[in-house]
Structure 1
Amino acid sequence: MNKTVNINLGGMFFHIDEDAYLKLTRYFDAIKRSLNNSSGQDEIIKDIEMRVSELLTEKQKSEKHVVGLKDVDEVITVMGQPEDYRIEDEENGNQSHNDFGARKHKKLYRDKEKGMIGGVATGLGHYFGIDAVWIKIIFLIFVFAGFGTGILAYFVLWIVTPEAVTTTEKLEMTGEPVTISNIEKKVREEIESLSDKFKNADYDKMGNQVKSGAGRISSSFGDFVMTVFKIFAKFLGVVLIISGISTLVMLLIGVFTLGTNIFIDFPWQNFVEAGNFTEYPLWSFGLLMFFAVGIPFFFLTLLGFKLLSPNLKSIGNITKYTLLAVWIISIAILTSIGIKQATEISYDNKIVEKKVFAIKPADTLYIKFKYNDYYTKSLNHYREFEFVQDSANNDLIYSNDVRLHILHTDENAPFIQVEKSARGNSFTNAKKRAEKINYKFQISGNQLILDNYFLTDVKNKFRGQEVDVYLYVPEGQLIKPDSSIRDYYNSDDDFFNLNYDGDYNYKVEGSKVRCLNCPAEDNDTNDYDSEVDTTDTDTINEVSVKINGKEVINGKKTKGKLTTDKNGVIIKIN
C-alpha cells in the first residue's frame, strides 16, 4: 500500500501517489538545474507547472482519482526531458553569438495543433517556409491530376513524419531559437490554446475515456499498420530517388547531345536545327527544359532521401527559393517560346502549277514514279523528313511526302495540277517557303513521270512541306498506272480504286474508273439479283443469265426470281 500526498500544482488540487510525487519533484528540480538560474527562471517554472497541471487534469477520471507513476510518465513524455530546457543565458556574452548557438536547423514534424487532419501540410509549410495553403493545393492537384496519388502521399507522410509534441520539437519545427523567452512564450501559447478546452471538464473526461478505450482496442492493429506503412514509405523513397536521379541524368545528357554544339558536334545536330522553329540557340532551349523539368525531379529526389532518412538536414531556404525562382523563370520563357512556335506554323499556303496533256482519250496515259539514285537506291526508300547533302555539299531537306490523286474532269483533255504547300507565321511567309520546294515531273507524249521526292534548302527549316499531284482525266480516257505509284497514290473517293496486285489497264466510264483486265475475283463480290419473266405456265425451261459479261445457262426447270453469286451460279430461287 502506497501513501498518497495532496499537492497544489499550478492552482489545481491533486491526490498523488508518493512515488509519483517524488518523481514529479525530481523532474521539476532537474528543470530548474537545466535553466541554470537564468533570468525569468521563476516565470518559466510557473508556466511549466501550469501546463503539467492541465495535462494531469485531463487524465483525471473522477474526483477521487489518484495520480500515479504512469500519469506522471505520460506528462513528462509530452513536456520533454529536463535537458530539453538546457539553454545558455542570453545576457551572458555576445548576444548574437548566443542566438547563433541556440538556433537549430529546421526539422520536419507534423503540426497537429494547427493542422486540419494530421498536420502534414502545416508541418511541410513550416519546413519549407511557405504557407500551408500552397502545400494543400499541391496535394489536391495530385489527387485529381495524379490519379489519387496525393491521398497516398499524404498518408505516407502522416505515417513517417513524427508529431511535434514537446516544446523543443515545436521550436525546432518552426526554426525558432531555443531561448528562455521562446520557451516561456511557447508554453504560454499552449496553455492559452487549451484553456477553453477545460472549461467543461465532464465532456473532456468522457472523451478521454472513449479515446483511451479505442486506443487499447486498436493498439495492436495500429502497430501493424504503422509498420506496413513505414516499410512502404522506405520503398517509395527508393523509387523516388531512382526515378529522380535517372531523369536528371537523362536531362543532362539531352542538353549536351541535343541542344548544343559548344563542346562537340553530333551527327543528328543538323536534323534538330532544321526542325527548330525559333531563332533562339537550341542549347538555350535545352537548358531551359533542364531547369523546368529537372528542378521538380530534384525536389522529388530530396523527398525520397527524406523518406529514407527523416533526420536529413534541409538544403536551406536560400537554395530552395533560388531554385523556385529559376523554375518560374524557365517556365515563363518556355511558355513564350511555345507561343512563338505555334505562330510559326499557324498559316498554311501553297503554289499551283498546271499543265495539259496533248493526247486524246483513245490514247493510253501512262503514269509512273521515279527516284533519284544519288539520294537512295530504291523506290521504296520513304522518309517524310531527312537531312541530306547534294553533290555540291549543300545542306538540303529531303522528303517523300508526295501524294498522287486521280480525279474526274469535264474537259476534253487530261491535265495535271501540282500543288506545293508549306506552313509559316503568315500567308506570305508560308507561300514563299512553298515556292522554295524543288519538285520535278515530266510529260513526255502520253507518259507522266513523277519524282517520288522533293528537296528544299535546310535554311527553310521543316515546316510541313508537302507535294500533292492531282491528275484530272475525262470521260473515256485510258489509263495505265505503273506499279511504282502504289506507295504514293491517295484515294480521295471511289472514283479510282487502284488494284495493287499488278499492272492493269483502266478506263474512265461515267463516275468511275473501271479496270479492263483485272481478274474476275477482284471485282465487286456482292450478290446479284436477276429478274426472270415467266411464261403463261409460270415455268422456265431454260434461263440465260449474264453476270459480269459471262453468260450462264441453267437447264433446269424453274420459275420466279433467281439470285446468283459473282460467278453466275444460282444460289437462291424465290
Structure 2
Amino acid sequence: MNKTVSINLGGFFFHIDEDAYQKLNRYFDAIRRSLSPDGKDEIMSDIENRIAELLSEKLKNDKQVVGNKEVDEIMAVMGQPEDYRIDEETTEQKSAYTASDFTYTKTKKFYRDSEKGMLGGVCAGLSHYFRIDPLWIRIIFIISLFVSFGTSLFIYILLWILIPKAITTTEKLEMTGEPINISNIEKKVKEEIDMITGKLQNVDYDKLGANAKSVGNGIGSVFSALFKGIAKAIGAIIAVISAVCLGGVIVMFISLLFSSSLNNTFWHKWINGFNYTETPMWVLGLAAFFALAIPLFMLFLLGLKILVDNLKPIGTITKVTLLFLWIISVAAVAYFGMSQAAEVNAEGKTVVKKQLSEISAAASDTLQIKFRYNNYYAKSFYEDTDFRFTQDSLGNDIIYSNKITFYVMKTDEASPYVQIEKIASGRSSSEARKRAEKIKYNFEFQGNTLILDNYLITDLNNKFRNQKVEVYLYLPEGMIFKCDESVKQYDDTDNSFFDLWWDSGEHFYQMEKAKVKCLDCPPDEYNSDGEIPEVPEMPEIPELPEDVHINAGGNGKIHISDENVNVHVSVDSISVRSKKRN
C-alpha cells in the first residue's frame, strides 16, 4: 500500500504517489540547479505551470492519483536538465529522454502577438501560425480593404476581440509552434529579461523624475486615455458600417447603370411600370446615388478621423463641391418623389350598365352567378394577386390583376341589371378616367347565368395606377339567385346585408326588402336573442342484434347493415336500402 501526497502545482491540486512525488521533487531540484541565477524564479514558475497543464490533461478526474508513469511521461516531454546547454548565442540539443510508451506531438495555436503587432497583433499572430512574414499579411489586409468595401476591417476587429493574446511563456511557445520544454522555456524567459533590461537601460531617468512630479496630471491622463479608447471604438464602428453601406450603394448604382437599358432584366418591367414621369433611369439612379453616397462617404471620413489622429483633411474645394452635388441630388430626388405622388393624386372611373332583361323576379328560372379565370394567366380561382407584370399570348407586355370586387345591391326596377365600374388613378380626374377606359374587363350573360371575369388587364405603357374593377349586381325584391363557389372569393358586400362566407355554392338566396335571405341554409347556431339554444335530450339507443354491423368510414360517413337492410349515414343525408326485393 503506497502513501499519497496532496500538492499545489501551478495553481492546481493533485494527489500524487509518494514515490512519484519524490521523483518529481528531484526533477525540480535538478532543473533549479541547472539554471543560471538570472530569471531563475520566472523560469521555474513557467516550468511548473506547464507541468501542471500536462498533468491536468492526463488525469481523467480529480480523484486519480499521479504515479510514476505520468511523471515519466512529463519528463519525456519536458526533457532532462543535463540534456540542454543554453548560452547567449546558440542552443544545441545533445540528447533527449523519451519514454517507451509516449510520443510528444508538437502543437500550434493561434494567438495575437502584441509584442510584434502594430495594432492588435492579429496580423503578427497569423504570420506565426502560417509561417509567413507579417509584412505580406499586412499588405494582403490593406488590399482587401478596397476589394471587400471595408468588410475585412470588420473581420480584423472581430478577430481582435475573439482571439486571445499570448501572455504566458507557454502561450508564446504554442503560438510559434515550438516544443514546450525546459530549454525553450528558459530561452524564452531569458529573451524577455534581456528585452526588459534593454528598455530599462534606455530610460531617460531625468525625464522620468520630472514626470514623477506631476502625479495628479497622470490620473487625468488615464481618464483621457480611457475616453480616447472609447472614442476610437465608436470611430471604428462608424467607419466599418459606413464603408459597408457605401460599397453596397456603389454596387447597386453600377448594376443599375449597366442594366437600365436592357429589356431582359427582371426589374425593367417594374421600373417602367412605376416610372410615371418617364425620367431616364440613369438620371434617377445618379441622383439617388449622390444623395446616399456623399453622406456615407463623410461618415466614413469621420470614423477615420476619430481613429487616426494625424489624418489629412480633405480640401475646402472638395467639401464645397460635394455639398453642392448633394443639395442638387436631394432636390432632384424630392422633385421626382413629389411628381410620382402627383401622378396618383386623383381617381377616375368609367361605368358600363347592362340590363338582364331575360330574368325577372316573377320568372321561374333562378339567376346563376359565377366567376371564370383565364387559364393562360392562372390555373385556379385561388391564384390571387394584386398585380403583376407579364405578357399576353401575343407577347405584349401587360399588367395583370385580380383586383375585382363584387357587390349585391337592391334596386326598385322591375328587372335586374349589372353595373361594371373601371377605376384608375391619375394626375387629374379626367386623366384618370382616360386611363380607366383602357382597362380590359369582360363579362357575359348566357341564358340565366351571369359570367364574370376574375381578372383585368391593361397595357404596360399605362403604368400601374391602382387599376381595379368593381362589379355591382342590382336585384329587385323577390329575385331568387344562386352563387357559384367562386363568387365568395370576390364578394365584398356588407355581411349584414348578404353573407357568402360559409357558402359552398349550393344554397339559394332571395332578395327581400331589407336584406338577402338564404332559402335553404341550416338554422343559425345561435337564436335571435344571441343565446345558445338547449340541446334536446338524445333518445336511448336500443341494443343492436348480433348480426348488425357498424362501420365508420372517412368523410363523416357511417355504414350500418344486417341481412335485410343497408343504412348509410353521412353529414348531409341518410339513405336506407332494402337488400331483399318484394
Specify whether residues 263 and 502 from structure 1 end up closer, same or farther in structure 2 by C-alpha distance, changes over 3 A only. Answer: closer
Q: Which residue of 1 aligns with 2:235?
A: 237
1:258 and 1:272 in contact (8 A); partners too: no
Q: SS state of the match for residue 235, structure 1? A: helix
Q: Distance in 2 between matches of 1:522 and 1:285?
A: 59
The Cα shift of 1:228 comes to: 4.8
Q: Which residue of 1 aligns with 2:355?
A: 356
Equivalent residue for 1:466, pick from 454, 465, 468: 468
Specify whether residues 473 and 288 from structure 1 end up closer, same or farther in structure 2 by C-alpha distance, changes over 3 A only. Answer: same
Q: Which digits, 9 at most, give the CA deviation of each residue in 1:278-301, with x for residues without a partner?
A: 111122111111111221111111
Q: Which residue of 2 aligns with 1:336?
A: 335
Give yes or no for the alignment of 1:509 onto 2:507.
no
Q: SS state of the match for residue 397, structure 1? A: strand
Q: Which digits, 9 at most, give the CA deviation of each residue in 1:198-238, with x for residues without a partner?
A: xxxxxxxxxxxxxxxxx999985x66654554333233223
Q: Which residue of 2 aligns with 1:445?
A: 447
Specify whether residues 490 and 335 from structure 1 end up closer, same or farther in structure 2 by C-alpha distance, changes over 3 A only. Answer: same
Q: How does 1:23-34 map to 2 (within 5 A)?
A: none
Specify whether residues 226 and 479 from structure 1 end up closer, same or farther in structure 2 by C-alpha distance, changes over 3 A only. Answer: farther
Q: Which residue of 2 aligns with 1:132?
A: none
Q: CA RMSD in A?
A: 2.9
Q: Which residue of 1 aligns with 2:523?
A: 520
Q: Distance in 2 between matches of 1:281 and 1:401?
A: 30
Q: SS state of the match for residue 259, structure 2? A: coil
Q: Distance in 1 between matches of 2:451 and 2:309?
A: 74
Farther off after superposition, 492-501 or 393-402: 492-501
Specify whether residues 489 and 232 from structure 1 end up closer, same or farther in structure 2 by C-alpha distance, changes over 3 A only. Answer: farther
Specify whether residues 332 and 483 from structure 1 end up closer, same or farther in structure 2 by C-alpha distance, changes over 3 A only. Answer: same
Q: Which residue of 2 aligns with 1:318?
A: 317
Specify whether residues 356 and 323 from structure 1 end up closer, same or farther in structure 2 by C-alpha distance, changes over 3 A only. Answer: same
Give yes or no for the alignment of 1:457 onto 2:459.
yes
The Cα shift of 1:348 comes to: 1.0
Q: Distance in 1 between matches of 2:370 and 2:525?
A: 22
Q: What letter is aligned with 2:349?
A: K
Q: SS state of the match for residue 520, structure 1? A: coil
The gaps in structure 2 that reach 5 residues or longer are: 1-213, 538-582
Give yes or no for the alignment of 1:413 onto 2:415.
yes
Q: SS state of the match for residue 369, structure 1? A: strand
Q: Distance in 2 between matches of 1:270 and 1:345?
A: 19
Q: Which residue of 2 aligns with 1:387?
A: 389
Q: Distance in 2 between matches of 1:515 and 1:259?
A: 61
Q: What letter is aligned with 1:391?
A: S
Q: Which residue of 1 aligns with 2:200?
A: none
Q: Distance in 2 between matches of 1:523 and 1:498?
A: 18
The Cα shift of 1:498 comes to: 1.7
The Cα shift of 1:350 comes to: 0.5
Q: Which digits, 9 at most, give the CA deviation of each residue in 1:114-154, with x for residues without a partner?
A: xxxxxxxxxxxxxxxxxxxxxxxxxxxxxxxxxxxxxxxxx
Q: Distance in 1 between matches of 2:485 and 2:492?
A: 14
1:260 and 1:282 in contact (8 A); partners too: no
Q: Distance in 1 between matches of 2:228 and 2:287?
A: 37
Give aligned-pair identity as a percent: 42
Q: How does 1:288-299 map to 2 (within 5 A)?
A: 288-299=287-298
Q: What letter is aligned with 1:513?
A: V
Q: SS state of the match for residue 423, structure 1? A: strand
Q: SS state of the match for residue 352, structure 1? A: strand
Q: Which digits, 9 at most, give the CA deviation of each residue in 1:76-120, with x for residues without a partner?
A: xxxxxxxxxxxxxxxxxxxxxxxxxxxxxxxxxxxxxxxxxxxxx
Q: SS state of the match for residue 486, structure 1? A: helix
The Cα shift of 1:352 comes to: 0.2
Q: Distance in 2 between matches of 1:331 and 1:450?
A: 47
2:260 and 2:281 in contact (8 A); partners too: no
Q: Distance in 2 between matches of 1:226 and 1:514?
A: 82
Specify whether residues 474 and 324 from structure 1 end up closer, same or farther in structure 2 by C-alpha distance, changes over 3 A only. Answer: same
Q: Distance in 1 between matches of 2:338 and 2:491?
A: 36
1:354 and 1:415 in contact (8 A); partners too: yes
Q: Which residue of 1 aligns with 2:87?
A: none
Farther off after superposition, 334-343 or 252-261: 252-261
1:259 and 1:285 in contact (8 A); partners too: no
Q: Distance in 2 between matches of 1:523 and 1:415?
A: 35
1:346 and 1:426 in contact (8 A); partners too: yes
Give yes or no for the alignment of 1:346 onto 2:363.
no
The Cα shift of 1:440 comes to: 0.6
The Cα shift of 1:241 comes to: 2.0
The Cα shift of 1:523 comes to: 5.9
Q: Which residue of 2 aligns with 1:307?
A: 306
Specify whether residues 509 and 278 from structure 1 end up closer, same or farther in structure 2 by C-alpha distance, changes over 3 A only. Answer: same
Q: Which residue of 1 aligns with 2:283?
A: 284
1:258 and 1:269 in contact (8 A); partners too: no
Q: Which residue of 1 aligns with 2:95?
A: none
Q: Which residue of 2 aligns with 1:425?
A: 427
Q: Which residue of 2 aligns with 1:491?
A: 493
Q: What letter is aligned with 2:522?
A: P
Q: Distance in 2 between matches of 1:288 and 1:385?
A: 29
Q: Which residue of 1 aligns with 2:173?
A: none
Q: SS state of the match for residue 345, structure 1? A: coil
Q: How does 1:543-562 map to 2 (within 5 A)?
A: none
Q: Which digits, 9 at most, give the CA deviation of each residue in 1:393-438, with x for residues without a partner?
A: 1111111111111122222222111000111122222111111000
Specify whether residues 284 and 360 from structure 1 end up closer, same or farther in structure 2 by C-alpha distance, changes over 3 A only. Answer: same
2:479 and 2:511 in contact (8 A); partners too: yes
The gaps in structure 1 that reach 5 residues or longer are: 1-214, 530-546, 554-574
Q: SS state of the match for residue 373, structure 1? A: coil
Q: Which digits, 9 at most, give the CA deviation of each residue in 1:313-355, with x for residues without a partner?
A: 1122221111111001111222222222222112211000001
Q: SS state of the match for residue 501, structure 2? A: coil
Specify whether residues 471 and 520 from structure 1 end up closer, same or farther in structure 2 by C-alpha distance, changes over 3 A only. Answer: same
Q: Which digits, 9 at most, give the CA deviation of each residue in 1:447-471, with x for residues without a partner?
A: 1111111111111111111111111
Q: SS state of the match for residue 390, structure 2? A: strand
Aligned residue-pair number: 319
Specify whether residues 476 and 230 from structure 1 end up closer, same or farther in structure 2 by C-alpha distance, changes over 3 A only. Answer: farther
The Cα shift of 1:518 comes to: 2.6
Specify whether residues 499 and 339 from structure 1 end up closer, same or farther in structure 2 by C-alpha distance, changes over 3 A only. Answer: closer
2:488 and 2:503 in contact (8 A); partners too: no
Q: What letter is aligned with 1:247?
A: C
The Cα shift of 1:246 comes to: 2.5
How does the TM-score come out when normalised to structure 2? 0.51
Q: SS state of the match for residue 307, structure 1? A: helix
Q: SS state of the match for residue 238, structure 2? A: helix
Q: What letter is aligned with 1:511?
A: A
Q: Distance in 2 between matches of 1:258 and 1:510?
A: 60
Q: Distance in 2 between matches of 1:493 and 1:259?
A: 51
Equivalent residue for 1:372, pick from 364, 371, 374: 374
The Cα shift of 1:258 comes to: 4.8
How does the TM-score come out when normalised to structure 1? 0.51
